[in-house]
Structure 1
Amino acid sequence: MTLLDHYFSVFLQGFGHTLLASLYALVGSLILGTFFAIMQVTTSKVARAIGNIYVQVFRNIPLLIITLFFYLAVAKVIKMTGFTAGTIALTLYTSAFIAESVRAGILSIEAGQMEGARANGLNFWQAMRVIVLPQAFRVAIPSLGNQFINLVKNSSILAFVGGLDLMYQGNLVAANSFDTFTTYIIVGAFYLIITLPLSYYIQYLEGQLKKKA
């Protein structure tokens, strides 16, 4: 019996947790990142300052530090598992990079479009949602795609806090089987199952957008 046959259910459990954490963090970081990107381009100095501070703080603190903060400090006040702590940290960390990607997309759109929308009766948030953001996301797709792929790979941080993810289960298998090389080859293959389709889909979207341009 091969290593994969013997520990398949263990790998599969880790794969499921990695996929779930990645999906949660992807949705959460996209929402948070977009919100703080908008804050960075508003006319309010206070909102811009808050947006800039958020992005700079979470971009420049290592993901491991953020994860341990939630797992060791916040968890003393609000009970949470390693999976939850790691997913929250992953969401906050990734959202800062997504905010920069979306902000760059927003700034690439002609300022006249926002002014025209405001002149036609839309407020700032309505104009941003209906006119600017759809175009900004199209521009930001390559950068966002890279961030989503990085998010999946960064989800291995859950292994440090007992998050039951793919890397965590791989470490257990390696410790029990003493076959480290094969174990991490299998772990890498499982990560590719997620990242390769995502990478090809992003390339497909880019191609479709170029055809429409």
Structure 2
Amino acid sequence: MRPAPDRPEFPWWLLILIGIGSYLFWRVLSDDLYSQVLTTLSKGIWTTIMVTVVAFSMAASLGLLLAVASGSRWAVIRQVARFYIEVVRGVPIIVLLLYVAFVLAPALVDFWNWATAYLGFDPIRSRDFSLLWRAVIALTIAYSAFLAEVFRAGLASVDKGQIEAAEALGLSRWHTFRLVVFPQGFRVILPPLGNDFVAMVKDSSLVSVLGVTDITQLGKVTAAGNFKYFETYNVVALIYLTMTITLSLALRHLEKRMRQGTER
């Protein structure tokens, strides 16, 4: 097998995508039907972005806590963390979404009413718990288990000799983690973390099953109203492709910059 050349390979796939995307954007701008569909779907872009950013931020925070708990010195904490991770990873995201929306959320409302009844608070109804936040909580729970494994693998990649050196210098476990383990592990964590963020952009479309007005839900409603399924879902696909490919290219650039900074 011939060795790969030193110079980077020209991204023909990107050139082809740019050509297809340019054609589709031209159709959107020049065709009244496409323009109307885009105007309608654009109202759901911010919902998709909000769901993705909030859910991923919460999932990353919870996933980091789970990863640290998985390496705890106490067996009970380790077992609880593993139980959560394995159970959540074994349930399809759409099933988890429906479970949180129609089982967990009403249970939380009932618990809140029971806990605050003695304090004189007015009871709340399940309908007061918005479907948007039910979806955010479900995605947070689902992705926290996957991100916990990403964090665990990244933190475990740090050489034990550096941890022992930090302890020999008198650093506490917290300072060792914050100053030695996490900064080095983050370089390993970043690529899969970025991939999961892109994946959440796509999986956020699952919130449409709850009627949340994201891009996919507005696409379904628009197509059901105008019966132009081909045109409508072309625009839906174009919006998601634009978001995910832009994110992927930005993450690749960031990884390259970090790699160059490490090699210097």
* Shared fold, TM over 0.5: yes
Given candidates 73, 76, 79, the residue that maps to 1:49 is 79
One-letter identity of the residue aligned with 2:35: D
Deviation at 1:2, TM superposition (A): 2.5
- Please tell me whether residue 19 in structure 1 is matched to residue 19 in structure 2: no
Q: Is 1:191 matched up with 2:240?
A: yes
* d(CA) in 2 for partners of 1:49, 1:107: 18
Matches within 5 A, 1:97-108: 97-108=146-157
- Which letter does structure 2 place at the counterpart of 1:87? V
Alignment of 1:69-84 (within 5 A): 69-77=99-107, 78=109, 79=126, 80-84=129-133
**TM-score scaled by length of structure 1:** 0.93
1:58 is aligned to 88
Give the equivalent residue in structure 1 for 2:37. Answer: 7
Question: Aligned letter for 1:138?
Answer: R
Aligned pair count reads 213
TM value normalised by structure 2: 0.76
Cα deviation, residue 104, structure 1: 0.6
List 4+ stretches of structure 1 deviating above 6 A. none
| Other-structure match for 1:36 | 66
Q: Cα RMSD over matched residues? A: 1.5
Q: Distance in 2 between matches of 1:120 and 1:4?
A: 64
- Residue among 204, 208, 220 paired with 1:171: 220
Amino acid corresponding to residue 152 of structure 2 in structure 1:
R
Stretches of structure 2 that go unaligned for 5 or more consecutive residues are 1-30, 110-125
Partner of 2:134: 85
SS at match of 1:43: coil
Of residues 170, 173, 196 in structure 2, which corresponds to 1:147?
196
Q: Take 1:3 and 1:159, find their aligned partners in 2: how far apart are those partners? A: 23
What is the CA deviation profile of residues 34-82 of structure 1, one whole-angstrom value per residue up to 9, with x for unaligned ones?
A: 1111111222212211221121111111111111112111232434222
Structure whose CA Rg is larger: 2
Give 1:120's match in structure 2, choosing from 149, 169, 193: 169
Q: Deviations over 1:124-170 (max 9, x none)?
A: 23321221011111111111111111111000111000111111111
